[in-house]
A and B are shown apart, each in its own frame.
Chain A
Amino acid sequence: MVNSRQFLTGSEVFVRAAIDSGAGFMFGYPITPASEILSGWINSGKKYLQTEDEIAAGFALCGAVLGGEKAFTATSGPGNILMQDGLSMAEGMRLPFVMVAAQRGGPSSGTVIYSQQEVILSCFGGNGEGMRFVYSPSNLSELYKFTRKAFNDAWHYRFPAIILTDGYLLKTKGVIDFAKIGEIKNISPRALVPKDSVVHWPNIYTFEEELYQEIKLAKDDFEKVAEDIADCESYQTDKADILLVAHGIVGAAAKEAVDELRKKGINAGLFRPITLRPLARKKLDKIAGQESVKKIVVVESSLGQLARIIRDQIAPEICAEFAYMQYPGLGIETEAIVDFVAGLRVVSGEI
């Protein structure tokens, strides 16, 4: 029997999740920190195509899923920009396009390991106004679970699904216990264009009204399932004074910060969106709308990309003040969050 407790990198966990999801094909072009996904996939013996660039990988993936192949791609930074071309087509045609975005620093080539600067690009990067699911796991176990879920949601609801990660999560080697995750059933793929059949399936329209109808249909479908897809972690939020909001690996640091702040007598809690699109709006409003909440502190390794989403989605009548801790392209450790929040309280004269 294989020991369920294993010591693996994030990339290894992702590859295993993709295999367990029944994926059979990867299209991609190597780029740090996503390269180990491509090399790990190749080493697993599964089918792959290393294309000339990310644009080709994206459209090859669109073609493969049309033929009923459960397939995916992985990219990062400048590659994520190019991938938006194929992703936009997948949004327009409602294709189950699954992608891992491994955030690195930018603009341009920036740094090679870490940032949270691809949030807006990953959530809203296409032209027009397509719909997609974006999951932001904070640890190896969530990376496994939400990769499995991304494949299932993409094929079940027929929207592109992105697993948003970073080089810390993918390159970190840590302990994961598969026995604790439990069984996840796969949604079977089906050929969207059956073999030997001719289907007229446009991704361009002659009349504005036609496109309008398509966008409206996609929006309605998305909104119908948004509540089921939307996921978050709420930690120590009941009657909290200070509400931290953070996602991904920074969300993990923020969770530790909540414990440390509480030891100092600061009544902090954490709202950690697991899906960035759709956002768990109802839960956010319920937590942030508590009378006790005096301040909402958005913590992120970017210049306010998560903050933009939160401010856009939160109910307008919620009147707690916002504060922002922004380290663009830089990791944020627990201690830094604790100091920042404790500093806020001193400035506002609360302690």
Chain B
Amino acid sequence: MLIKILIAGDGGQGVQTISDIICQAAFENGFFVNHIPNYGLEQRGGVSLSYITIGDKEITYPKFSMPDILVVLSKQADNRTKQYQKESVKMLNIEDYKKDLEKQSVKPQNYNIFFLGLLAKILVEKKICGEDCVLKLLEKKFGKKENWEEKKNVFELSLNYV
């Protein structure tokens, strides 16, 4: 079993934050995980990419030419990842959810949490990690912040999203 995930968003959207949580959850469940954050100069406004590989065997090379799952958090990231947008790749693109999220008053700064939930759902189905573990790690990261309840609600919304 080997699953390759590419998460792309604008610098500051929390791409690395949700990547860290996904990776930690898979690691704690005994899987081999490789995470390479491709942050060149995007602190200055570019696209932040995160390459994640999760497997039940040792992973030899951290990058890949085609992901199994592509998560896109912004228009800019959408343009930057055109080469990966193939039929064989499962796409989770903000463009497909934006209207719904606005309707449910999810703030743009929590879009990453929404996609964390969608990813968690896929990984739970594949028995890579449990929802509880992801929520626990999310709480560890944001539990003491003022907007924790808001983030928790977005996470729960995404877990139940159909």
Which residues of A are interface residues toward B (Cβ below 8 A)?
Answer: 7, 111-113, 138-139, 168, 171-175, 249, 252-253, 255-256, 331, 333-336
Nearest first, the 8 closest Cβ-Cβ pairs linking A and B are A252-B60, A253-B61, A333-B65, A7-B27, A173-B35, A172-B62, A172-B36, A174-B34
Report the minimum CB–CB distance from B97 to chain A (whole Å). Answer: 28
Residues of B within 8 A of A138 (CB): 60
The 13 sampled A-B contact pairs (Cβ below 8 Å) are A7-B27, A112-B40, A112-B41, A168-B36, A168-B62, A172-B35, A174-B33, A175-B33, A252-B60, A253-B60, A331-B63, A333-B63, A333-B64
Instruction: Verify if B59 is at the interface (C-beta below 8 Å from A).
Output: yes
Most chain B CB within 10 A, of A111, A112, A255, A333, is at A333
Interface of A is mostly: mixed
Q: How long is the Cα–Cα vector from A256 to B59 in the complex, in angstroms?
A: 10
Most chain A CB within 10 A, of B34, B41, B60, B65, is at B60
**Given A173-B36, A333-B63, 19 other A-B contacts at CB below 8 A?**
A7-B33, A139-B60, A168-B62, A171-B37, A172-B34, A172-B35, A173-B23, A173-B33, A174-B34, A174-B35, A174-B62, A175-B33, A175-B34, A252-B60, A252-B61, A255-B60, A331-B63, A333-B65, A336-B65
Q: How long is the Cα–Cα vector from A113 to B62 in the complex, in angstroms?
A: 13
Q: How long is the Cα–Cα vector from A331 to B66 in the complex, in angstroms?
A: 13
Residues of B within 8 A of A171 (CB): 36-37
Which residues B44-89 have CB closer than 8 A to chain A?
58-66
Instruction: Verify if B24 is at the interface (C-beta below 8 Å from A).
Output: yes
Q: Do B61 and A256 have beta carbons less than 8 Å apart? A: yes
Most chain A CB within 10 A, of B24, B27, B41, is at B27
Residues of A within 8 A of B153 (CB): none
Chain B positions 1 through 36: 1 when the CB is less than 8 Å from some CB of chain A, otherwise 0: 000000000000000000000011001000011111
Instruction: Verify if B109 is at the interface (C-beta below 8 Å from A).
Output: no
Q: How long is the Cα–Cα vector from A130 to B59 in the complex, in angstroms?
A: 37
Chain A residue at minimum C-beta to C-beta distance from B66: A335
Report the minimum CB–CB distance from B160 to chain A (whole Å). Answer: 29
Residues of B within 8 A of A334 (CB): 61
Q: How long is the Cα–Cα vector from A253 to B41 in the complex, in angstroms?
A: 26
Q: How long is the Cα–Cα vector from A333 to B27 in the complex, in angstroms?
A: 23
Q: Do A174 and B59 have beta carbons less than 8 Å apart? A: yes
Report the minimum CB–CB distance from B139 to chain A (whole Å). Answer: 19
Q: How long is the Cα–Cα vector from A333 to B61 in the complex, in angstroms?
A: 8
Report the minimum CB–CB distance from B73 to chain A (whole Å). Answer: 20
Q: How long is the Cα–Cα vector from A7 to B60 in the complex, in angstroms?
A: 15
Q: Residue A256 contacts which of B37, B38, B60, B66 (CB distance < 8 angstroms)?
A: B60
Q: How long is the Cα–Cα vector from A98 to B40 in the complex, in angstroms?
A: 27
Q: How long is the Cα–Cα vector from A253 to B59 in the complex, in angstroms?
A: 10
Chain A residue at minimum C-beta to C-beta distance from B62: A172
Chain A residue at minimum C-beta to C-beta distance from B24: A7
Given contacts A7-B24, A173-B35, contact A113 B40 (CB under 8 A): yes
Report the minimum CB–CB distance from A9 to chain B (whole Å). Answer: 9
Residues of B within 8 A of A173 (CB): 23, 33-36
Residues of B within 8 A of A174 (CB): 32-35, 59, 62
Q: Do B65 and A175 have beta carbons less than 8 Å apart? A: no
Residues of B within 8 A of A111 (CB): 40
Q: Do B24 and A335 have beta carbons less than 8 Å apart? A: no
Residues of A within 8 A of B41 (CB): 112
Chain B residue at minimum C-beta to C-beta distance from A111: B40
Q: Do B63 and A168 have beta carbons less than 8 Å apart? A: yes
Chain A residue at minimum C-beta to C-beta distance from B60: A252
Most chain A CB within 10 A, of B40, B61, B65, is at B61
Residues of B within 8 A of A112 (CB): 40-41
Q: How long is the Cα–Cα vector from A171 to B36 in the complex, in angstroms?
A: 6
Q: How long is the Cα–Cα vector from A336 to B64 in the complex, in angstroms?
A: 10
Residues of A within 8 A of B60 (CB): 138-139, 252-253, 255-256
